Amino acid sequence: MKIVLAPMEGVVDHLMRDMLTSIGGFDLCVTEFVRVVEQKLSKKTFLKYCPELKNEGKTPSGVPVRVQLLGQHPQWLAENAQLAIELGSPGIDLNFGCPAKTVNKSRGGAVLLQTPDKLYDIVSEVRSAVPKEQVVTAKIRLGYDDTSLAYENAQALEAAGASEIVIHARTKRDGYKPPAYWDWIAKIKSRIATPIIANGEIWSQADALQCQQQSQCENIMLGRGALALPNLARCIKHNETAMTWADIAQLLIRYSGYEIYGDKGRYYPNRIKQWCGYLKRQYPEAEVLFNDIKRLKQSEDIVAVLHSQI
């Protein structure tokens, strides 16, 4: 079984990837999307989104990190894919699943699921631009407003040469509202030979097993579930029990050191509160912690509260 850490814009950056992969269980990470318009991006831009390129494209724990691109222009996506590969990205991922209105308005992300021909053009151009030994993967949803083009989209990606497809088992219209329609992944899987990774609404080991059964996919991608339960990948792979709250508190303190002394220190108060928002799903203590820190603005005050949790 392969478990992939999902790209989550504004949430899973290199610090979070380092933290979660150090716990273990992940085989691959995908970066937050790098937006491509009508230009070739700089090396600096790629290093901003994927500092792991300085470490042979791996987290400090040795887990590969693949650059994800988002855009609508095949030629520019191809040129930027070439650069990402040259910088050390282990393959290229293409975002056709982001549901954000601002992204869709600029013809990026899930809006492209309305035009299978466009998906084909993008993947085909990128596939031709990068070395054959490098994978070109795509992340999609079941559709935009509905599932009417689900098969056609997957078949377009396969015909264009996609190496692997991650399917989030909801449409753009569904957003992140439960349930995830894992059975739809199995339907798509029956129509194509390209390997598929199942994604969406996996919060526990039981969810993972149910997802695998319904989707008929062995490999899965974890997003919000890994933020709510940081050792979820290990729970799924190795039948581990959930981390205790004391373990989580230690993790939060460690993460605080990464954030405060890293390149995004000024965002730390909001970032730690954001993570508490995810942790609340699994840990009642996170609700209490959030209430204790929600009005605090100074990093040192928040860290002091975290130390009191141990």
User: What is d(CA 50, CA 300) in angstroms, rounded to the nearest whole number?
Assistant: 28
Please identify which of the residues 98, 217, 235, 276 carries the catalytic annotation. Answer: 98
AA letter at 208? A
276 is catalytic: no
Contact 67, 50 (CB under 8 A): yes
**Mind telling me the catalytic residues?**
98
